[in-house]
Amino acid sequence: MIAMKNANTNAGPPQRLVRRLGLFDATMIVMGGIVGSGIFINPYVVARQVHSTFLILGVWALGGLIALGGAFIYAELAARRPEVGGQYAYIREAYHPAAAFVYGWGLLLVTQTGGMAAVAVTFARYFSALLNVPMSAGVIATLALALLTAINCLGVKTGSTVQSVLMVLKIIAISAVIAVGLFGASSHTSLRPLLDRPVSGDLFAAVGAAMVPVLFAYGGWQTASFVAGEIRDPRRNLTRGLIIGVAGVIVLYLSINFVYVSVLGPEGLAATETPASDVMGLMLGETGSRLIAAGVSISTLGFLSQGMLTAPRVYYAMAEDGLFFKGVGWLHPRTRVPAVAIALQGATAIVIALSGRYEQILNYVVSVDFIFFGLTATCVFVLRRRDFARGSISGAAFNIPGHPVTTVLFVAVCWIVVLNTVFRYPMNSIIGLAIMIAGIPVYFLWRPQAGAAAAMRSSSEQLEERTADRE
């Protein structure tokens, strides 16, 4: 621990993260945070709520527009506060370090880590079935997480390159399903009838229920903001990466869902829990099924890689603020990455994966995740007013189209999802909220250290901000 402390506190300025990522890296990180295994498997959930081609594709298009609206919001936040930690930093700067700490607390203990554990086990199951590996899913998941932890400790560029390669392979896998499916698409595919029932409260309720899995499928783009401190010219590259990445995913999602309903029909899509496998199996037989299994394996591994690259930067930022163990803020002197934070992320995900509790944990935090989406969006109002009052030009690089209307709509959608989740799953929501609230007393244990850390950070941040404004 003394060595770690000395490495960051020698005479001269402390070590900082290095900006080694460009626009392509940022775009692949955005897309990699969204696309996991769900798009290969879960569209049947939507088809069980709404039963016409028009409605199925319509909710996916609407979900894409909402995600794009969120990307615009985070693009402006990235332009105004291009800091390491992203969403954590926005909440800290706009409101209070306690709110930011609770967000980071939940990210480590539940949201990010539970999700990674679940995806790691999904990868292990597909990988094992594909190659007939004589190991348990827990062992394979552990090895995958350990490998990605080691890779990301080698440097941010190394981790980003691996993530980008896996994202490109994901795009190829989805494109393969689209290409194969289009050959088998029904020649009488039609958007009519537009609706599966009369316009009524029942229709709106069904669309609302269908939107929940769609919004979850589009989630994850916000994690790209965590690595803002390692992106070159983040006011340009991160903002563009967010918009290009989300737009690219919308195209992929709409295309593959068109294939699903064209080949299987709305009824067939609702009847299967493995639509991608069914499409490939119908067209290519056993070879197609094995190819899609390989695609799901690659996609889940890529999602894990993106999480291992991005989330540790939040824990690093917390340590820099004096709100976490000092060692978590240690940067490797050669690779300049937060190696301890990365190892912490990997180890925690492994523990949860081996415990078998990841599915239960995921159920706890659905509502809390969207609470923080909405809260982060409201940061735009606070930071705009603050920047205007002090005459800062730091927000000039990007402004949200249609603000404040589009921003208010995004916040409303997020909190409607929260209310819907609380109504449908009250016990899970209460547990999730309790886990988050438990972070508040923990924050007060760290707060004495936070004051000293803030004083040390203030002068260097002011210098960086003045330099950025001149640029």
327: DSSP letter: G
* Distance, CA of 92 to chain centre: 19
- Domain locations in the chain? 2-9+18-453
Alpha-carbon span 38 to 35, nearest angstrom: 7
Report the CATH fold assignment for 2-9+18-453: Amino acid/polyamine transporter I (1.20.1740)
pLDDT 10s digits, 48-88? 999 899 999 999 999 999 999 999 999 999 989 888 889 99
Q: Which two tokens stand for residue 295?
A: 């695609």
Q: Which of 217, 178, 226, 273 lies closest to 36, judged by CA?
A: 217
Q: By three-state DSSP, how is residue 117 classified?
A: helix
Q: Which of 193, 192, 185 lies closest to 262, judged by CA?
A: 185
pLDDT 10s digits, 418-435? 888 888 778 878 888 888
Is the separation of the CB atoms in 27 and 241 below 8 Å? Answer: yes
Give the mean pLDDT of 289-297. 90
The percentage of residues in the chain with a pLDDT greater than 70, rounded to a whole number, is 88
In the predicted structure, residue 348 carries a pLDDT above the cut 60: yes
**Beta-bridge partner residues of 21:** 231
Q: Which two tokens stand for residue 338?
A: 């937060």
pLDDT at 186: 62
In the predicted structure, residue 466 carries a pLDDT above the cut 70: no
pLDDT 10s digits, 166-219? 999 999 999 999 999 888 666 556 666 777 777 877 888 888 888 888 988 898
What is the pTM (predicted TM-score) of this model? Answer: 0.88
pLDDT: which is higher, 136 or 364: 136
